[in-house]
Structure 1
Amino acid sequence: MPGIINDLTVAGTLFLRASARKLLSKNNPEPDLDKYSTAMQSLLDQTPEGLIKDYEWLDLPGNRPPWMASGINLKTGDEISCFMDGRVFASKPLDIWLGLALQVWYKVGDGDIFRGTHSSHSFVAKESGPLQFGNYFPNDWENLQGERQQDDKIYQSSRGMSRILIIRWHKPAVECLREMLSLGDFEGRLKSEINRIDIGDTTPKGWSYLWNIGQSNIFRKQSSGTADDCIHCQTQGDTGILQKEVDMILDEQTEISWKWCVDQLPSTLREDTVPSHDYLSIAIEFDNGRDITYYWSSTLPVGTGYDCPLPNWKGKEYHVVIRSGKEGLGEWKEERRNLFEDYKQYMGEPPARVVRVWLIANSAFQRNKGDCKYAHIVLHNAQSLKVL
């Protein structure tokens, strides 16, 4: 009963907030797909010969399960740019929707699924085959081939649509985009995609993103006045899990320590319900497939522990609040946790080994900004020490 009450309380708060934004005309308006299509088509029509090999428009309904053919069959080495607009609602009354970079995934032939980091994405085809698109939320991926964990009927709860423009170029995408930009732009979309390509992959060296959440540009290596080689996390309306392999025996002395500076929390509500589950954390994965994640809560008391409220993560991830409230935000804090004791206290009999350290950022539900820096991450037990 307490869990249901919390869910209803949070949902009620979000409904009131959404209603107030609507009354005050402060809601992020739904995209005008006709305006988007007309403007982008005008740019296509002006493009000189020799730049675009072919292009297609695709409407992807939010309630359609993966996968949907685009009408373009790619060959290995083809350079593609995709531009998307639209909105897919998980809950329209609560104004909960995912950004298209997270919602819409790609698949070429029999290759692995992937997503972009923005609502535009350029890539080189690694395989030959039909280019397909698929909705991610509210399901989750079972494997890299794009099979789903839950029955596809779950998509029936989604509302909205994504409109996708797929362009196949004659030359490298960035060159073609620059030429196209000389003819004009629409809402800075071409310029934004060129900048994204120029910046490149921001993933810190030695780390990788969890495959089923997908690549992101949330995390990057950065120097700081108080901590060299910190990992800076900035998120808004996105999610990402950064991982690093460690493989260490879990004994009674196994500890993790780190420094972090949390400048802004992505939630103003308790984070233990689905529609408010936005947070920043550091987590440890064990060899039994479970993980414990330590985070700074906006409202929940220090020491609070709970199983992840997201259906696909229940029984896998356990959340522990180690700091709470606004006091100390913007300051570097040092943390130290005994993993053996925490697992025993919150999750039961400890497993044999630690296998990965994670950095987690989620701001997909409330779409608020989250900002945090991590440094001096150290894992040690009775026999060894690893500096991440």
Structure 2
Amino acid sequence: MHLPSPSQSPGRAASRVALCIALLVSPLGTLAQNGTPGVSFSTAEAGGSLPAGWKNLPVVKGKPMTRYTLVRDGHTIVLQADADHSASALMHEGDIDLNQTPVVSWRWKAEGPIEGADNRTGSKEDAPARLVFVFDGDKSKLSMFDRASMEVAKRLGGQDLPYATLMYIWSTTAAPGTVIPNPHTGRVQMIVVSGQPGDAGQWQSLRRNIVQDYEKVFHEPPGRMTGYGLLTDTDNTATTTRAWYGDIQFLGQ
């Protein structure tokens, strides 16, 4: 995912970061939480339309878009992500009540590591698979830099920058459990959950407690979760990759 280089001025860097994340959470149509929140790609049809409420959104204006399609994998339907020098996120907006369903469960499979990618370095910050969660919160507590970024986001994208963004990522540059702050803003934190030797080309079933992870990386309880989605990107490394995503469910303890 492209973010500004360290050589850019703080103001310019803030505007680019703000615009990227503001685009991820542009209006999609708020949906109330039902008894089984999440998305079931497995109940869709191969080659059919994406489930209701999901939209493919650019991470940076003018960049090629990652292609998300429903395909058959054995006896089920999954979402296939194809990135070719591209970056866009498939996002869904709507409240998820973390008091009722703090745990996220999902399956994914990455074709393999992205050559040259390193999520610790802004110019190499790509990943074959990510889950993305955005949160509201008390922005008056943030630093002057973060508040300025949010003002820029609102001016450029017409939307407020999320108070916080938590990602689970597939990465070979750090061990599972490693927390990687976004190189340009502490309001985006990434947790490595896949990418060990042997993970490439294999379906993995994963489960994380979002509340516990949020408290670990942001050092406070989470506010309202306002949206979630997935992201496969290769815009920084100018490469290609493919990943697959299965159903995503939000569960109780």
- The counterpart of 2:74, out of the listed 217, 225, 240, is 225
- Residue in 1 that maps onto 2:22: none
- The counterpart of 1:356, out of the listed 217, 224, 227, is 227
Deviation at 1:212, TM superposition (A): 5.5
- Residue in 2 that maps onto 1:303: 177
Deviation at 1:292, TM superposition (A): 0.8
1:264–1:212: structure 2 CA closer, same or farther, 3 Å change rule? closer
Q: Contact between 1:264 and 1:369, CA under 8 Å: does it hold in 2? A: no
Report the Cα distance in structure 1 between the residues aligned to 2:65 and 2:123, rounded to whole angstroms. 21
- 2:223 aligned with 1:368: no
Deviation at 1:355, TM superposition (A): 1.7
Report the Cα distance in structure 1 between the residues aligned to 2:173 and 2:243, rounded to whole angstroms. 18
1:217–1:362: structure 2 CA closer, same or farther, 3 Å change rule? closer
- Residue in 2 that maps onto 1:258: 106
1:294 is paired with a residue of what secondary structure?
strand
- The counterpart of 2:16, out of the listed 114, 125, 140, is 140
Report the Cα distance in structure 2 between the residues aligned to 1:287 and 1:303, rounded to whole angstroms. 24
- 2:124 aligned with 1:276: yes
Q: Contact between 1:302 and 1:324, CA under 8 Å: does it hold in 2? A: yes
Q: Contact between 1:202 and 1:217, CA under 8 Å: does it hold in 2? A: no
Deviation at 1:268, TM superposition (A): 4.0
- Residue in 2 that maps onto 1:342: 213
Give unpaired runs (5+ residues) of structure 1.
1-89, 92-136, 144-200, 383-388
- Residue in 2 that maps onto 1:239: 87
| Deviations 1:217-267, CA, capped at 9 Å, x for gaps | 521222221532x11101121111110123122228511111111112324
Q: Contact between 2:116 and 2:237, CA under 8 Å: does it hold in 1? A: no
1:211–1:329: structure 2 CA closer, same or farther, 3 Å change rule? closer
Report the Cα distance in structure 1 between the residues aligned to 2:170 and 2:235, rounded to whole angstroms. 17
1:316 is paired with a residue of what secondary structure?
strand
1:353–1:378: structure 2 CA closer, same or farther, 3 Å change rule? same
The residue identity in structure 1 corresponding to 2:16 is D
Based on CA coordinates, which of the two structures has the bigger radius of gyration? Answer: 1
- The counterpart of 1:323, out of the listed 194, 197, 205, is 194
- The counterpart of 1:209, out of the listed 35, 43, 56, is 56
Report the Cα distance in structure 1 between the residues aligned to 2:174 and 2:65, rounded to whole angstroms. 28
| Deviations 1:249-308, CA, capped at 9 Å, x for gaps | 222851111111111232444321012111121111122321111111122111110211
Report the Cα distance in structure 2 between the residues aligned to 1:231 and 1:359, rounded to whole angstroms. 10
Q: Contact between 1:268 and 1:298, CA under 8 Å: does it hold in 2? A: no
- 2:167 aligned with 1:293: yes
| Deviations 1:293-332, CA, capped at 9 Å, x for gaps | 11111221111102111x3xx1331110012234121111
The residue identity in structure 2 corresponding to 1:205 is P
- Residue in 2 that maps onto 1:197: none
Deviation at 1:346, TM superposition (A): 1.5
1:263–1:354: structure 2 CA closer, same or farther, 3 Å change rule? same
Q: TM-score, normalised by structure 2?
A: 0.65
1:140 is paired with a residue of what secondary structure?
helix
1:344–1:375: structure 2 CA closer, same or farther, 3 Å change rule? same
Q: Contact between 2:58 and 2:88, CA under 8 Å: does it hold in 1? A: no
- Residue in 1 that maps onto 2:39: none
Q: Contact between 2:80 and 2:243, CA under 8 Å: does it hold in 1? A: yes
Report the Cα distance in structure 1 between the residues aligned to 2:202 and 2:195, rounded to whole angstroms. 14
- The counterpart of 2:96, out of the listed 233, 248, 262, is 248
The residue identity in structure 2 corresponding to 1:333 is Q
Report the Cα distance in structure 1 between the residues aligned to 2:193 and 2:238, rounded to whole angstroms. 23
Q: Contact between 2:133 and 2:229, CA under 8 Å: does it hold in 1? A: yes
The residue identity in structure 2 corresponding to 1:367 is A
1:374–1:320: structure 2 CA closer, same or farther, 3 Å change rule? same
Q: Contact between 1:257 and 1:379, CA under 8 Å: does it hold in 2? A: yes
Give unpaired runs (5+ residues) of structure 2.
6-12, 20-46, 138-161
Report the Cα distance in structure 2 between the residues aligned to 1:142 and 1:287, rounded to whole angstroms. 15
Task: Identify the structure with bigger relative contact order (alpha carbons < 8 Å, sequence gap 6+).
Answer: 2
Report the Cα distance in structure 1 between the residues aligned to 2:123 and 2:16, rounded to whole angstroms. 17
1:315 is paired with a residue of what secondary structure?
strand
- Residue in 2 that maps onto 1:42: none
1:223 is paired with a residue of what secondary structure?
strand
- Residue in 2 that maps onto 1:34: none
Q: Percent identity?
A: 20
- Residue in 2 that maps onto 1:18: none
